[in-house]
Amino acid sequence: MKRTIWILWPSFIVGGLGEVLFFTVFDPHELYLFGEPSTLSRMAVYTIGFFLCWAFAAASSAFTCFLQGGSREINR
Amino acid sequence: MKTSGAPADLVEQSLYEVRRTIHPRAVRGWFAAWRWALVWATQLVFYGTAWLQWNGRQVVLFDIAQRKFYIFGLVFWPQDIIYLTVLLIISALSLFLFTAVAGRLWCGYACPQTVYTEIFMWLEQKIEGDRVARLRLEAAPLSPRKFALKAVKHGAWIAIGLWTGFTFVGYFTPIRELWDAVWIAATGPWETFWVLFYGFATYGNAGWMREQVCKHMCPYARFQSAMFDNDTLIITYDRERGEPRGKNAISRPGKGHCVDCNICVQVCPTGIDIREGLQYECIGCAACIDGCDQVMEKVGFPKGLIRYSTITAMERKLTRAQMFARAFRPRVLVYSAVLWIIIISAGVALWNRVPLKVDVIRDRAAISREVEGGMIENVYRLQIMNTSEAPRAYRLSVSGISGIRIPGEAVIEVEGAASRMVPVKVRVAPGAVAAGTHRIEFGIESTDDTSVAVREKSVFIVR
Ligand code: SF4
Ligand code: SF4
């Protein structure tokens, strides 16, 4: 439970920040997906973008948590 | 905070795992009244503002689908990110200032976590009864009555959560249209998703997580102590006056004023005992002050056994006036000065903001070419953004090289709060300048208001 909070919560904040910064600079309508202009609505791109940002940040948090375990835990 | 040593860590973790629901006793008093005033104020603003109209549109609308933010008469574009940055800096500095002066004022009175928890607890009390009744209900085995009470409570909480989620989304997509869409179940998939997401988060945070959010998730709770000093007003238990505590302090003069009634612990939303000194869990809600004051009144001792005070005031036994005089210390003065300078300059910048933005993009396809009469031509694309709400016409001009001009009529009309991309040809007479790159400047000026004008630099290339 505590780990879940550690992984999901800071990444939520950082992901949100990343989302705001990214989409302030880039307009979803100007993005290309695999070489094709995307046909998704801006709302869709914002939402998907947010969850991508969150997921990446969460992956980083999870990695940190994984590496953080002391020798006590690993040698067990 | 406990940072060292495994045993301490273990204790904290195990406490966390077996977290028991805290059932704070409701309090009345001066500070509770303030909190309720702020609950009303913030929520009226939050739930209400979304519905207000201005110039035929929503007063405050962060129209992310169109990438434009409307706040009263102002329209912000992504290029205005600087204002958002300044706003964040102002918020952060205000938080520092308030924290230095009076501790966690934000947490105790205005943080959404506190505000929604207050609302949710009020509902809980109306539905399940007071603290004693709730404790009894929790201990009781599941019965039809218990089930019904719980169902009503969660139903009410979810309703408030959904309304909050709806209002939140209503700031990003026009709320009246959203409202109409709700009734015919025609809200867009993304809007629906965010209403549910935000609604669920409200319900979870204010109904279930409560003080856990403050203790384990809030970054501010961890660094606020760095902004404290010995003159910061904090919730303090007057140990000297209170100890030795004892149940029958009234009849036994040898005892201090604390009658050990435990009210201060029962009312605490984070479940701590303030008599053990300031702890990072304390959100500064002052519920224990209200609670203890009631007790003091009842037993006939002066109020303020628990009160807002500072470390210095406690140590040196300062009067209230002396204590408040120390609020004006260098740290506070510097924070205030910086804050005011930023607020005033941002205000001035906003006031003088020209409601027009122009981006000049050189046409990369045709760098420089010769046209009829031997003239040399460069082609540009001008993105003209009218950030006022009225339609406007702009006259284009160009300067920087003698005889440089834009052929034809150069007046561009742009709708209110809209942008237009226009191709612009610029010509220079042959032989006017040598081959190479030359600086030029575009002038864009409103035809009916000469103060609405901007100049944008670019280059003219001659081959
Ligand atoms: S409420 Fe006041 S009197 Fe009662 S235990 Fe707390 S400090 Fe003592
Ligand atoms: S100790 Fe007092 S001020 Fe601090 S959280 Fe508990 S009730 Fe609120």
Hey, whose CA ends up nearest to atom 2 of ligand 1? B292
Chain B residues inside the 8 Å CB shell of A13: 219
Residues B214 and B233 in one domain: no
Q: How many domains does chain B have?
A: 3
Residues B173 and B36 in one domain: yes
Phi/psi at B455 (nearest 5 deg)? Answer: -120, 135
Q: Which of A37-46, B35-44, B214-223 has the highest mean pLDDT?
A: B35-44
In a domain, B39, yes or no: yes
In a domain, B441, yes or no: yes
Residues B165 and B265 in one domain: no
Render pLDDT for B302-318 as a digit per residue (tens, 0 to 9).
Answer: 999 999 999 888 888 88
Q: Which of B180, B202, B223 is the last residue of a domain?
A: B223
The best mutation among B241, B250, B262, B272 to test binding of ligand 1, ranked by most ligand atoms within 8 Å of the C-beta, falls on B262
> Residue B246 above 90 pLDDT?
no
Q: Looking at residue B11, what is its pLDDT?
A: 40
Per-domain residue ranges for chain A?
Answer: 11-69
Sorted by sequence, the CB contacts under 8 Å of residue B312 that are 6+ apart come out as B230, B231, B318, B323, B326
Among the residue ranges A27-41, B201-215, B393-407, B434-448, the one predicted with the least confidence is A27-41
Residues B234 and B200 in one domain: no
Q: Looking at residue A71, what is its pLDDT?
A: 64
- E strands present in B313-435: 356-362, 369-370, 376-386, 392-399, 411-414, 418-428
Phi/psi at B173 (nearest 5 deg)? Answer: -140, 140
Count of CB atoms situated within 10 Å of the CB of B350: 12
Q: Looking at residue B15, what is its pLDDT?
A: 40
Q: How far is B70 from B60, CA to CA, in rounded Å?
A: 5
Number of H helices, E strands in chain A: 3, 2
Q: Which of B75-89, B147-161, B205-219, B364-378 has the highest mean pLDDT?
A: B147-161
Read off the amino acid at residue B321.
A
Q: Looking at residue B19, what is its pLDDT?
A: 60
Mean pLDDT (whole number) for B218-237: 88
> Residue B80 above 90 pLDDT?
no
Helix or strand (DSSP H, E) at B309 = strand B306-309
In a domain, B65, yes or no: no
Residues B164 and B268 in one domain: no
pLDDT band with cut points at 50, 70 and 90 for residue B215: confident
Q: Which of B147-156, B206-215, B395-404 has the highest mean pLDDT?
A: B147-156
| Cα nearest neighbour of B12 on chain A | A2
Residues B385 and B278 in one domain: no
Helix ranges restricted to H, B317-376: 320-325, 330-351
Q: Looking at residue B250, what is its pLDDT?
A: 55
**Pairwise pLDDT comparison (B332 vs B417), residue with the higher score:** B332
Residues B176 and B199 in one domain: yes
**Pairwise pLDDT comparison (B422 vs B78), residue with the higher score:** B422
Residues B399 and B309 in one domain: no
What residues make up the domain containing B114?
Answer: 30-49+103-223
Positive or negative, the CA dihedral A68, A72, A73, B2 is negative
Contact across the interface for B65 and A2, Cβ inside 8 Å: no
Share of chain B above pLDDT 70, in %: 94
| Ligand with an atom nearest the CA of residue B306 | 1
Q: Looking at residue B374, what is its pLDDT?
A: 83
Read off the amino acid at residue A2.
K
For residues B173 and B179, the answer to whether their CB atoms sit within 8 Å is: no
Coil, strand or helix at B445: strand
Closest CA to B306 of B2, B30, B26, B23: B30
Residues B213 and B234 in one domain: no
Hey, whose CA ends up nearest to atom 4 of ligand 2? B282
Task: State the smallest CA–CA distance between residue B27 and chain A in angstroms.
Answer: 31
Read off the amino acid at residue B120.
F
Task: State the smallest CA–CA distance between residue B196 and chain A in angstroms.
Answer: 13
pLDDT band with cut points at 50, 70 and 90 for residue B251: low
**Pairwise pLDDT comparison (A45 vs B55), residue with the higher score:** A45
Q: Where does ligand 1 bind, in terms of residues with CB under 6 Å?
A: B 237, 242, 245, 258-264, 275, 291-292, 295, 305-306
Residues B121 and B269 in one domain: no
Q: How far is B31 from B35, CA to CA, in rounded Å?
A: 6
Contact across the interface for A2 and B216, Cβ inside 8 Å: yes
Q: Looking at residue B307, what is its pLDDT?
A: 93
ipTM of the complex model: 0.80
Mean pLDDT by 10 residues, chain A (76 residues): 83 91 84 76 88 93 82 64
For residues B445 and B382, the answer to whether their CB atoms sit within 8 Å is: no
Q: Which of B207, B223, B239 is the last residue of a domain?
A: B223
Q: At what angle do helices B330-351 and B81-102 cross, to 10 degrees?
A: 160
Q: Looking at residue B117, what is its pLDDT?
A: 92
Q: Looking at residue B333, what is its pLDDT?
A: 93
Chain A residues inside the 8 Å CB shell of B65: 41-43
In a domain, B234, yes or no: yes
Render pLDDT for B445-457 as a digit per residue (tens, 0 to 9).
Answer: 998 888 888 999 9
> Residue B168 above 90 pLDDT?
yes
> Residue B48 above 90 pLDDT?
yes
Q: Which of B199, B223, B247 is the last residue of a domain?
A: B223
Which candidate from A5, A13, A47 shows the least CB-CB separation from B190? A47
The DSSP line for B192-251 is HHHHHHHHHHHHIIIIIITHHIIIII-HHHHHGGGG--TTS-EEEE-HHHHPSP-TTTTT
Q: How far is B96 from B342, CA to CA, in rounded Å?
A: 14
In a domain, B161, yes or no: yes
Q: What is the pTM of this model?
A: 0.81
Residues B373 and B256 in one domain: no
Average pLDDT over all residues of chain B:
87
Residues B438 and B457 in one domain: yes
**Pairwise pLDDT comparison (B18 vs B69), residue with the higher score:** B69
> Residue B8 above 70 pLDDT?
no
> Residue B6 above 60 pLDDT?
no
pLDDT band with cut points at 50, 70 and 90 for residue B123: very high
pLDDT band with cut points at 50, 70 and 90 for residue B433: confident
